[in-house]
Copies of this chain bind each other. A is one copy, B any other.
Amino acid sequence: MSLLIVGTVAFDKIETPIGKTEKILGGAGTYIGIAASYFSDTTNILSVIGDDFPDKYYQTLHDHKINTDGIQIIKGGKTFFWEGKYHTDMNSRDTVTTELNVLAEFDPIVPVNYQNCDYLMLGNLDPKIQRKVLKQLKKRPKLVVLDTMNFWMDIAWDDLLGTIRMVDVLTINEEEARQMSSKYSLVKAARKILTMGPKYLIIKKGEHGALLFDKEENCFFAPALPIEEVFDPTGAGDTFAGGFIGYLTKTKDLSFENMKRAVIYGSALASLTVEKFGTNKIAYLKSDELNDRLFKFKDLVEVDIKNLDKF
């Protein structure tokens, strides 16, 4: 089963209350790819970079058996760069710099060996680009997951609507769910968004966890693990998405029950990402770290309430 990931491979420069970085490896595609690589054997990535992208970062992707054939390298171009500064609560941040660089002219070309992918993760990008990728595939993947953000709701609403109509799972955050639906209640927001195309909606609540909804009004909640010290929330949402689709790619089971497990795996990986800056944690997990984290999730919510009928 092959997984195709479309998303930025980029440079980030990050400041949080704990410290700051120089230009380091970042990008949605990078986090999604690394997270998915813990489950998926064949992870193909489609992206664009400049020729300023260092070999050592390429090596990080290859160390995770990520196929980079689909990363266009623009000669003389500069790689997408984002600089951000997080506030004390780490739930909000200011963008200091955004240099689109090669991303401004990105025209995705899906390599032939990617065109039969079974699972597709469309990371946050212009919905036109996300749709262009979908249209180049030889067959409809078994599952298409799309991540987006308020920026596209503001400036490309019709394109976004056209694109999400073609996907199975949409992942957005709380405020975006409210903006997209004009509903404050997340229950009502989910109900409305699920009439717009996707079969499943994941509402990411950052340090407050994530909600999974389907059209049958099933609802599942995964908490975020309380973390001793959050160093850097960058990439947590993308890591979550990568773990989610990676787990589904590996298990080939698209039932709601299995999607719940996928949400937990994604959450567990995301809880690791934030413990170091950039990809410093998620790219170097030790053999038992993910399992240990999963057990912590289990402990965190497991409760025996079988005696309900006593009252």
Contact = CB atoms under 8 A, between A and B. Distances in A.
Secondary structure call for the A interface = mixed
A131 interface: no
Contacts of A38: 311
Contacts of A219: 226, 299-300
Interface in A283-311: 290-291, 294-295, 297-301, 303-305, 308-309, 311
A21 interface: no
A46 to B, nearest CB: 26
Contacts of A257: 303-304
A105 interface: no
Which size class do A's interface residues fall under? 35 or more
A264 interface: yes
Interface in A98-143: none
16 contacts: A39-B311, A89-B184, A186-B226, A208-B208, A219-B299, A220-B299, A221-B226, A221-B301, A222-B301, A257-B303, A261-B305, A264-B303, A291-B308, A291-B309, A295-B308, A301-B301
Interface string A72-116: 000000000000000011000000000000000000000000000
